[in-house]
Amino acid sequence: MNIVLGMIFGAVVWFLSRYLFAGVYTVNQNERAVKTSFGRAERVGKATTLNDPMIEALKPEERERYAYPQVRVIPPGGPYFCWPWEKVHKVSISTQTVNMAMDPQAPSANSGGTLLEAVTKDQLNTGLTGQIRYRVSEKNLYAYLFGVKRPIAHVMGYFTSVLRERIANFEAPRREPMVGIDGVIPTPESAAAAVGVSINDLRKNLRDINEHMDSECRSSEARYGIMLEASLITGIDPPEEVESALAAINTAYNQVSSDISLAQASADQKLVQSKTAVEIETLKAQAEVEPLKAMADQLRELRRNGPDALPAYVRNVRLRLFSEAHKAIVEVQP
């Protein structure tokens, strides 16, 4: 009898420890949880990702493909309880940073996850280095937990394909050339266009490339449940065999840019000097004209005062001139 009671007691204790106490759990502050019952996640009514603004990052023809159901998210706290037929899936939503060359399925690829190779538009195999900052989307946990087997692998593959496509087709924006009297005026930008090396364009436009990647990868939240917060490409290295040639081209470009800048500065200085000289001569001419205008006004006023006023004025001027002259030659009529 005691043996039977002991077996019953042990069975009860085992059941309670296995299915009752083990069903108590908590969720940390940097975690979110989703509960499944017989493998099915608890839904929030009939809501799907189509009702969330994140779906706008997808093309219209892609939205139905990624219409994931909205699941009930268990917030941080506890203790919570789940029955034996239920399972709790915990996910960390903290921001994580990885090397952009990391391949989750092949850690040895891309030089051990340190250097991502891409081909430029002029067929140069260049190496890219940088980082990606991401976190799991709390609004699309169904896609992260149940949509794909390894979401981070899909996200990294998507990011790599978009980046390589951008590198292969990238063209730096060109400014409109300035047009002078004799035609197009050369500028440093036109000198850079003459060089035509895509690696130079890529290096000078890293910010535009990073912004393009951020824009293109916004759809990863709706696709895979992972939000790419930022991508930062920090280095673009050309192949070793073209490094010296590229350095020579850059040196020549810098020299051309310097010469053009000096020529422009000299031309601007001459224009300013010419403008100043014209203003000075104009002022001189105005200064010489003003006394003549004043004299003409005075003579007209004298003429209006009577017929004898003007001859008297002329006589007085002559007397003043005679008083200042050392010699006077008088013509005598025969």
Q: Tell me the pLDDT tens digit for each residue of 273-290.
A: 888 888 888 888 888 888
Q: For residue 4, is pLDDT > 80?
A: no
Are 291 and 297 in contact by the 8 Å Cβ rule? The answer is: no
Please tell me whether the overall predicted TM-score, pTM, comes out greater than 0.75 for this model: no
Contacts of 254 (CB under 8 A, 6+ apart): none
Rounded Cα distance between 69 and 241, Å, is 52
Q: For residue 236, is pLDDT > 60?
A: yes
In tens, the pLDDT along 176-227 reads: 554 444 444 444 444 444 344 567 777 778 888 888 888 888 888 888 889 8
Q: For residue 73, is pLDDT > 70?
A: yes
Are 79 and 28 in contact by the 8 Å Cβ rule? The answer is: no
Give me the sign of the Cα torsion angle 148, 82, 50, 134: negative
Lowest-pLDDT range of 48-62, 226-240, 320-334: 320-334
CATH topology of domain 96-180+195-239: Tetrahydropterin Synthase; Chain A (3.30.479)
Lowest-pLDDT range of 124-128, 244-248, 268-272, 329-333: 244-248
> Which regions of the chain carry the CATH code 3.30.479.30?
96-180+195-239
In tens, the pLDDT along 117-132 reads: 888 887 778 888 888 8
- E strand or H helix that includes residue 116: strand 116-119
Tokens of 212: 């393009």
Q: For residue 248, is pLDDT > 80?
A: no
Rounded Cα distance between 96 and 83, Å, is 32
Are 98 and 131 in contact by the 8 Å Cβ rule? The answer is: yes
C-beta atoms surrounding 302 within 10 Å: 16
